[in-house]
């Protein structure tokens, strides 16, 4: 939803486009499977981030400094993991679901 609103804001406010043209092009190109794929990816990303943070955070060593180090490690590991998973899921989606309007 944020992406749709961001795109609307950019097109209508920043570029001076018309709201009708944005909505018409969105309706012509978007499909329900895009929403389903985005929702599934959001669930997977949340799960992976939670698992990484929980795994790394359960056994910090070194006192408060160790906790800070574990937080930093969790953020880096999660970012890299989500980047890779997003690439794989997007490639699969683009291979399995035909684009609308082509």
Say if residue 19 is in the same domain as residue 56.
no
Say if residue 24 is in the same domain as residue 50.
no
Q: Across the chain, which distance is largest between two alpha carbons, in Å?
A: 58
Predicted pLDDT of residue 55: 94
And the tokens for 41? 């990816």
Please report, in tens digits, the pLDDT of each residue of the chain (102 residues total).
Answer: 888 899 999 999 999 999 999 888 888 888 889 889 999 999 999 999 999 999 999 989 989 999 999 999 999 999 999 999 999 999 999 999 887 765
Say if residue 59 is in the same domain as residue 86.
yes
CB atoms under 10 Å from CB of 40, counted, come to 12
How many structural domains comprise the chain?
A: 2
Predicted pLDDT of residue 101: 65
Say if residue 77 is in the same domain as residue 61.
yes
Say if residue 14 is in the same domain as residue 44.
no
Say if residue 16 is in the same domain as residue 63.
no
For 77, the domain range is: 31-102
Predicted pLDDT of residue 23: 87
Say if residue 38 is in the same domain as residue 16.
no
pTM of the model: 0.77
Instruction: For tokens 């359960």, name the residue.
Output: 58
Say if residue 102 is in the same domain as residue 59.
yes
Say if residue 36 is in the same domain as residue 83.
yes
Predicted pLDDT of residue 102: 58
Say if residue 41 is in the same domain as residue 9.
no
């Amino acid at each position: 939803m944020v992406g749709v609103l961001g795109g609307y804001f950019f097109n209508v406010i920043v570029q001076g486009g018309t709201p009708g043209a944005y909505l018409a092009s969105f309706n012509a190109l978007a499909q329900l499977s895009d929403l389903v794929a985005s929702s599934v990816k959001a669930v997977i990303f949340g799960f992976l981030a939670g698992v990484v943070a929980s795994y790394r955070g359960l056994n910090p060593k070194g006192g408060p400094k160790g906790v800070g180090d574990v937080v930093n490690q969790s953020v880096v590991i999660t970012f890299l993991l989500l980047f890779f998973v997003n690439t794989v899921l997007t490639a699969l989606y683009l291979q399995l679901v035909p684009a609308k309007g082509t």
